[in-house]
Amino acid sequence: MKDGTLDELDRSILYALQQDSRHTSSGDIAEREGVSASTVRKRIQRLEEEGIITGYHVAIDYETAGLPLHAKLVCSAPIPQREELARQARDIPGVEAVREIMNGHNNVYINIIGTDHDDLSRIGQDLYELGLDIEDEQIIRNEYVCPYRGFLARDDLDW
């Protein structure tokens, strides 16, 4: 497993936690897979320690929460500083997600959340001062996160 080879139990655990990481107990997964709850807990612990599981996050509908300004910024960073700038961008209030892309240009995508248009401008300004060029800004209308079904064996698809 250290070489990234996940067995069926590991994949089943990841799939279950992608669907609901808070209300799915080790026992639930254990029952489906025919192993003990202890085994599932040990596996989860190992996946966390190995860095395959990097965290557990709540998904929020920002519009319903009264924060309707959910936007995506397409930015460009000089390649040598891309990783560092992407890391620094995470600390700017309002930044929700950062993705580094293997491009020469438009190589950092940043999702941001603002309380109003002034707030969005402020975030853009902060990123610019960091050294990121903002190439484009787009309003996000809807966002869905999907469990990666590749973790499922073909004969489990009827979950």
Partner DNA sequence: CTTGAAAAAGCGTTAGC
Partner DNA sequence: GCTAACGCTTTTTCAAG
**Which spans of this chain sit near DNA (rule: CB under 7 A)?**
1, 9, 23, 25-28, 35-39, 41-46
Name the residue type at position 65: A
Distances in whole angstroms, Cα of residue 6 to Cα of each of 1, 20, 43? 6, 20, 11
- The helix/strand/coil state of 67 is coil
What does the angle CA 29 – CA 32 – CA 33 come to, to the nearest 5 degrees? 85
Tell me which stretch binds a second copy (CB under 8 A): 31-39, 59-67, 126-134: 59-67
Among 8, 20, 31, 135, binds a second copy (CB under 8 A): 20
For the bound state, the minimum distance from the C-beta of residue 151 to DNA, rounded and expressed in Å, comes to: 16
* Rg of the chain (C-alpha set): 19
CA 159 to CA 157: how far, in whole Å? 6
For residue 37, the partner it binds in a second copy, DNA, none, with Cβ less than 5 to 8 A by kind, is DNA
Distances in whole angstroms, Cα of residue 43 to Cα of each of 3, 38, 39, 154? 15, 9, 6, 22
For the bound state, the minimum distance from the C-beta of residue 62 to a second copy, rounded and expressed in Å, comes to: 8
For residue 25, the partner it binds in DNA, a second copy, none, with Cβ less than 5 to 8 A by kind, is DNA
Q: Under the rule (CB under 8 A), what is the footprint of a second copy?
A: 3-6, 14, 17-23, 50-62, 64-67, 72, 83, 86-87, 90, 93-103, 109, 113, 115, 138-146, 148-150
